Amino acid sequence: MTRISTSWRSRAGAFANGLLTVPALAVYAGLLVVPVGFAVYYSFTDYNGFPSQTPTWVGLDNYERIAQDPIGDLHPSIWVTVAIAIVGTLLVNAAALGLALLLRRTTPFNTVARVVMFYPHVLSALIVGFLWQAILGPQGAVNNVLEGGGQSTLPFLADPQWALATLIGVIVWAQFGVQLVLYLAGLQAVSPQLQESARIDGANGGQVFRHVTWPALAPTVTVTLVTTVLSLLKVYDVVLGLTNGGPGDATQNWAYEILAVSFANNDIGLACAQAVLLVLVAGLLSFTIIALRRRAEEGAEAIG
């Protein structure tokens, strides 16, 4: 008798608790999950976004179009995205970790330096793009200084390869400060006793880093890698401000392709197919990194 009533009560309690999740669930599911479903559905249609037109089922046409790329404008954008995601992630993390090691002690000088490294993050990526465009553009500040000094100008944004490198550089400039803060937080958790005893045992700075600090940072590295890759896969604002995809299509990445090309041309079916692929890639990549990092993190637990 008592057992039945407690089980009924716990079930009623769970139901009441379930009600508490309804508002969050409604907003989240309605505006993030349902759109993902819409994206999957539209990706199999030729929908052009006009309310009067009903989407017609075209099967895998949009995906085939992406795979075959008849106009030759989709594949370059994949390479641009991959270059930004891989090179950008490595540079952001290298810069962030290097500076975190330099700035790990909390002195007034270091505190100011941390703030200076971080501030680009409070500026919107679009404004960062416009600002660097005004500095590195053909008529920009740097080239005018070079010209004034009698030197030849540099094609930061005019040459396709330079433009991609410049874009990655600007992204790194704007993003590494965030990861720096995460690395600093991670370094706080590294046991100072362990580092000290390694030093007493005769390890030099490099050895202490390799055998004590770096393994203990493993969970932080996982977080920074995943967050950097996720944010770099979808960069759009900074591209729009800095290069607007140019010169030609040299800096058009996947997100630019979706928003400024397919969506702008009312090619909703194609835009949704591209969006579905990018969501899949983002998810797969995150889980791959998390899975690959698991072993390194187990090492961190053994040390910590």
Binding to other proteins, residues 170-189 (CB under 8 A): 173, 178, 181-182, 184-186, 189
Q: Do residues 246 and 163 touch, judged by C-beta distance below 8 A?
A: yes
Tell me how far CA of residue 113 lies from CA of 98, 109, 123, 183, 186, in angstroms.
13, 6, 17, 15, 18
Tell whether residue 12 is a contact of other proteins (CB under 8 A). no
Q: Do residues 136 and 156 touch, judged by C-beta distance below 8 A?
A: yes
CB of 127: closest distance to other proteins in angstroms?
Answer: 6
Listed in sequence order, the residues at least 6 apart from 303 whose beta carbon sits closer than 8 Å to its beta carbon are: 194, 212, 215, 216
Cβ proximity to other proteins: between 25 and 67 the closer is 25
Alpha-carbon gap, residue 190 to 156, rounded angstroms: 41
Among positions 96-135, residues that touch other proteins (CB under 8 A) are 99, 102-103, 109-110, 112-127, 130-135
Q: Which among 34-42, 57-65, 159-167, 293-301 is the span making contact with other proteins, rule CB under 8 A?
A: 34-42
**Residue from 1, 4, 16, 291 binding other proteins (CB under 8 A):** 16
Alpha-carbon gap, residue 176 to 96, rounded angstroms: 5
Q: Residues 135, 137, 143, CA angle at the centre, nearest 5°? A: 75
* 297 phi, psi to nearest 5 deg: -70, -35
Residue-level length of the chain: 304
**Residue from 6, 8, 28, 68 binding other proteins (CB under 8 A):** 28
Q: Which among 64-72, 160-168, 209-217, 251-259 is the span making contact with other proteins, rule CB under 8 A?
A: 251-259
Identity of residue 264: A
Tokens for 172, please give them: 């790194």
| DSSP annotation of 76 | H
Tell whether residue 21 is a contact of other proteins (CB under 8 A). yes
Q: Which among 37-45, 62-70, 82-90, 210-218 is the span making contact with other proteins, rule CB under 8 A?
A: 37-45
**Residue from 6, 9, 12, 34 binding other proteins (CB under 8 A):** 34
Tell whether residue 292 is a contact of other proteins (CB under 8 A). no
CB of 298: closest distance to other proteins in angstroms?
Answer: 19
Cβ proximity to other proteins: between 39 and 164 the closer is 39
**Binding-site residue total for other proteins (CB under 8 A)?**
90
